[in-house]
Amino acid sequence: MEWNQFILRVRQQLETANFSGDFPKEHPLTRAIALGLRPLFAESFGVSDEQDLHYHVVYRDGDEDEDRKAWTLIQKVKWVNVLGMDFVPDVLVIRGRLRTATDDPISVLPIEVKLAKQRAFSAEFARAVGQCLVYSVRYQPSILFVGVQPGVIYGTRGLRNVTAANETVEDRKFRERLEQHGIALIFRDVGAPTDGTRSTTPV
C-alpha cells in the first residue's frame, strides 16, 4: 500500500473509531490510539509478526517490555531538534522495521495526542499545534488528535464544535494554515457513554 493511502486510512480510523472507554488522562487515550492502529498497520503492510508491530506503532510510556524497548530504540527517529530543544510525538507510526538505533525508517507519521478536560483549553491546544509545527520540519504529514472529555460543553466561549454551518473566517484560515504544514486536526468526543463514533473534526 502507498504511504499516502495508509495515512488516509489512519485519519479515517481516528475520525470514526470507538473512544467510549475511560480516559481520565492522556496516556490511556494515547495507548488506545496506538493499539488501535497496530491491526490497521498489519493489514495494510502485511505484517504477521505481532512483536514487530511494537516497532511499527510506537507510543510514549508503553505498557509492555517490547513497547519500552521500541521507544528506546527509536531515539534518532523520535527526537526532532529545533533551536537546541528536543520535541517528541506521543505516537509514531513507522514504515520500515528498525533493528538498530542507527537504522533509518522509510516513512514516519507523528501523532500528537491531547485531552481536553475543560473548555479553557487554549494553552494546551497552542502547545500541541506548536509541537506539530516542529514535527513538520522533519516529517509531513502529522496528526493532532484532540479527545474531548464528557462534560466539556461546546458553546459561544471556549472550545466549541466547528461545523460547516458555524465555521468563522478565522477557523477556516487556521485550518488552511495547518494544512499548508501537513497537519491534520481531529477532534473527537472520548469517554462518553455513547457509541463513541460522533466525530467533531473541524470541516
At 57-70, the pLDDT tens digits run 999 989 899 999 99
Classify domain 3-189 by CATH number. Answer: 3.40.1350
State what percent of residues in the chain have pLDDT above 70.
Answer: 90
Q: Return the bridge partners of 28, or none.
A: none
pLDDT classification of 193: cutoffs 50, 70, 90? low
CA–CA separation, 174 and 13 (whole Å): 23
For residue 174 the three cell numbers come to 487556521
Q: Give me the pLDDT at residue 150, please.
A: 82
Query: 111-141 pLDDT, tens per residue?
Result: 999 999 888 888 999 999 999 999 999 999 9
pLDDT classification of 192: cutoffs 50, 70, 90? low
Q: Within 10 Å of residue 51's Cβ, how many Cβ atoms?
A: 11
Residue 195 has pLDDT above 60, yes or no: no
CA–CA separation, 46 and 40 (whole Å): 10
Tell me which DSSP letter residue 8 carries.
H
Residues 6 or more apart in contact with residue 17 via CB below 8 angstroms: 36, 196, 197
Tell me which DSSP letter residue 128 carries.
H
